[in-house]
Amino acid sequence: MADEVGHLPRRPGRMLKAARWSIQGLVAAWLHESSFRLEVYLFVLLAPLAVWLGDTPVERVLLLGSMILVLSVELLNSSIEAVIERYGPEFHELAGRAKDMGSAAVFVLMINVLATWGLILIPRLL
């Protein structure tokens, strides 16, 4: 939730509230978004591989970070879809376009994961 009065410094209580809202968002995504759950399962499966296969800290960060970006954008995409569904069930061209573009953003990052993993790992196989 936004500050009611300007940009107040973050005190511990306010930081705990912000953390609680973030956790509520993660729980909501887990409960209501099958795509998010699938991407979390893949992350849990691939994260240990990323740590093991990355030769340098930079490679590990790239391998892990590319997957974390997918999760982050999936959360944003789900929030866009939730707002559109809240607005109304009837079809609207702009609503469809917004949902399609959110999905495309996740797709582009999945391609980024494949490219990152491929560019780091394929040269080792050749």
Which residues make up each annotated binding site? 14, 33, 60, 74, 81, 90-92, 99-100, 103
Which residues make up each annotated binding site for substrate? 14, 60, 74, 103
Residue 10 to residue 110: CA distance in whole angstroms: 35
Residue 105 to residue 93: CA distance in whole angstroms: 18
* Residue position matching structure tokens 């490219």: 115
DSSP helix/strand/coil, 27:
helix
Choose the catalytic residue: 39, 59, 74, 85.
74
Annotation says 4 is catalytic: no
Which residues make up each annotated binding site for a divalent metal cation? 33, 81
Active-site residue numbers? Answer: 74
